[in-house]
Amino acid sequence: MSALSFDTVIYNKHAAHAEIRFNRPHRLNAVVEQFYRELIAALRQAEADPEVRAVLLTGEGRAFCVGADLKEHAAGERTPYQRRQYLQLGNDACETIFRLNKPVVAAVNGYALGAGAEMACSCDFVLMAEGAQLGFPEVSIGTFVGGGVTRFLPRLVGLPKARELMFLGERINGTEAARIGLVTRAVADEALQEEAQAFIAKLSTKAPISMALAKKLLNTSDESTIDAQLTRELDGLFMCTTTEDWKEGVAAFAEKRSPNFKGC
């Protein structure tokens, strides 16, 4: 497939994963309309590529993403309709991350504020530098969160802590974020990218169809009853047994070797 070219994100394909690097370092990767459109396109490109098993999101320069580029927004004029369309793009970006049929890993460097924190919460895994800072400043400046945060955050940290993070808008570092369960793990600042590459390389060896099913059922588990979930799991298990990857997994286990999954 032909790769698309972007200005506000950098798309690199590695052995079995894609890396999407936010590329507005002069504005600490603050989001604008073009950024959202290109991020969604890059995610779709990774999803459509059968060789890509997982996606890594990180930021170029000193930040993951500091939220909306208020300077650029102030410089332009939007109609109410255009403003609504821009805000919808932010939701669309987070929803694309959440619903992508491949696991998405965030490597949070520097600052993840507002929209940056929202995108991180939409990912399946978040590795965060110990010295990085994450926060939801929206209520403190008279605006509001988006991207599904009011659903994701209580699931991650519990309702009382979610209220505290949103109402007070205080920033927390990677160590605290890991302690409260907001991120998967905190790592030394200088080791973040290396740890992220190792993590996603390991993730990329797993069975793609099984991972896609696990992601979908985990992410939607609170929308169904236990009876419905048991049925969905049974259907997923049966479907996996019809794949070549299931045969490969069984053979690899019997032969005491690592499996080589093909995603079919």
Q: Is 197 helix (H, G, I), strand (E, B) or coil?
A: helix
Q: Do the beta carbons of residue 9 and residue 55 sit within 8 Å?
A: no
Q: Taken in order 141, 130, 36, 119, is the CA torsion positive or negative?
A: negative
Give the Cα separation of 74 and 24 in Å (integer).
Answer: 18
The DSSP secondary-structure symbol of 60 reads S
Residue 262: CB atoms within 10 A of its CB come to: 13
Residue 228 host element (H or E): helix 226-241
Q: In what order do the strands lie in the sheet with 111-113?
A: 111-113, 133-135, 172-173
The DSSP secondary-structure symbol of 65 reads B
DSSP assignment of 108-153 equals E-SEEETHHHHHHHHSSEEEEETT-EEE--GGGGT----TTHHHHH
Give me the active site residues, please: 118, 138
Burial of 245 (0-12, 13-18, 19+ CB in 10 A): buried
Q: Do the beta carbons of residue 170 and residue 134 sit within 8 Å?
A: no
Residue 100 sits at φ, ψ, to 5 deg, of: -55, 140
